[in-house]
Chains A and B, each alone.
Chain A
Amino acid sequence: MNKRIVLFLALFLVIGLAGVTAQKITLTCVMMAGDIPEETQAFLDQFSKENPDIKIDFTNVAQDLEAYLQPKAASGEMPDFISVNGGSFGADLVDRGILIDLKGTFAAKNTVDAVKPQFTSPKGKLFGIAGGVSTSLIYYQVQAFKDLGLTPPENWEDFLVLCEKIKKAGKTAILITPGDGTMSNTLWSHGFANNVVAKYPDYVKRFREGTMPLDTLEFADVYAKGKLLFDKGYTQPGAVSTTYMEGNQMYIQGQSVQHFAGSWLAGSLLKTDFETGVYMPPWNAKGKTKIPIVATETGWGVSEGPHKKQAIMLLDWINGKGFHFYQNARGNIPHVKDPMGPVMLDDRIKTYLDKLYSYKQTAGLWFEYIPAETMMLTFQLYQEVLTAQKTPREAAAAFDKAARAAVKK
Chain B
Amino acid sequence: MGLAGLSQVQRRQLVCFLFTLPALAIVFVFFLFPMLRALLFSFTNWDGIARTYRWIGLKNFQTVVSDSSFKQIVFNTLYLTIIYVPVLNVVALLLAVGVYNAGKAGNVYKAMLFFPNLLSMTVIGLIWNIIYRYNGLFNQFLKIVGLKVLVQDWLGQVNTVLPAMSVTIIWFAVGYYLLIYLAGLNTVPVEIYESAEVEGVSGWQKLVRITIPLIAPSITINAVLSTIGIVTLFDLPFVLTRGGPGFKSQTIAMHVYAYAFQQLRTSYALALAVILGAFAILITALQLRFLRRREEVIL
Shortest B287–chain A CB gap in Å is 32
Would you call B261 and A387 a contact (CB within 8 A)? no
| Known contacts A74-B49, A179-B156, A240 near B244 by CB under 8 Å | yes
Would you call B48 and A387 a contact (CB within 8 A)? no
A390 within 8 A of partner (CB): yes
| Known contacts A380-B247, A387-B248, A238 near B262 by CB under 8 Å | no
Would you call A241 and B264 a contact (CB within 8 A)? no
Name the contact of A179 in the complex, choosing from B50, B244, B247, B262 (C-beta under 8 A): B244
Tell which of B68, B157, B261 has the most Cβ of chain A within 10 Å.
B261
Annotate A227-251 by CB proximity to B: 1 below 8 A, 0 otherwise.
0000000001111111000100010
- Hey, which chain B residues are within 8 Å of A398, CB to CB? 68
Q: Which residue of A lies closest to B50 (CB)?
A: A96
Would you call A390 and B246 a contact (CB within 8 A)? yes
B110 within 8 A of partner (CB): no
| Known contacts A384-B245, A387-B248, A70 near B261 by CB under 8 Å | yes
6 new A-B contacts, CB < 8 A, other than A64-B262, A387-B245, are A73-B49, A372-B263, A375-B262, A376-B262, A389-B245, A409-B265
Number of interface residues of B (CB under 8 A): 32
Shortest A32–chain B CB gap in Å is 15
Would you call A238 and B156 a contact (CB within 8 A)? yes
Shortest B288–chain A CB gap in Å is 34
Bound-complex Cα distance A242 to B134 (A)? 9
| Known contacts A74-B49, A238-B134, A383 near B264 by CB under 8 Å | no
| Known contacts A73-B49, A237-B134, A241-B134, A387 near B156 by CB under 8 Å | yes
Bound-complex Cα distance A179 to B133 (A)? 11
B235 within 8 A of partner (CB): no
Would you call B134 and A380 a contact (CB within 8 A)? no
Name the contact of A71 in the complex, choosing from B50, B135, B261, B265 (C-beta under 8 A): B261
Q: Give the secondary structure class of B's interface.
A: loop
Q: Which residue of A lies closest to B260 (CB)?
A: A70
Bound-complex Cα distance A372 to B48 (A)? 14
- Hey, which chain A residues are within 8 Å of B156, CB to CB? 179, 238-242, 387
A47 within 8 A of partner (CB): no
Shortest A39–chain B CB gap in Å is 23
Shortest B51–chain A CB gap in Å is 10
B74 within 8 A of partner (CB): no
Would you call A96 and B133 a contact (CB within 8 A)? no
- Hey, which chain B residues are within 8 Å of A96, CB to CB? 49-50
Annotate A367-395 by CB proximity to B: 1 below 8 A, 0 otherwise.
00000111110001101101111100000
Q: What are 19 A-B residue pairs whose CB atoms fall within 8 Å in the complex? A: A67-B262, A70-B48, A74-B48, A74-B49, A96-B49, A96-B50, A179-B156, A179-B242, A236-B134, A238-B134, A238-B156, A239-B153, A241-B134, A373-B265, A375-B263, A376-B258, A376-B262, A380-B243, A383-B244
- Hey, which chain A residues are within 8 Å of B207, CB to CB? none
- Hey, which chain A residues are within 8 Å of B49, CB to CB? 70, 73-74, 96, 98
- Hey, which chain B residues are within 8 Å of A242, CB to CB? 134, 156
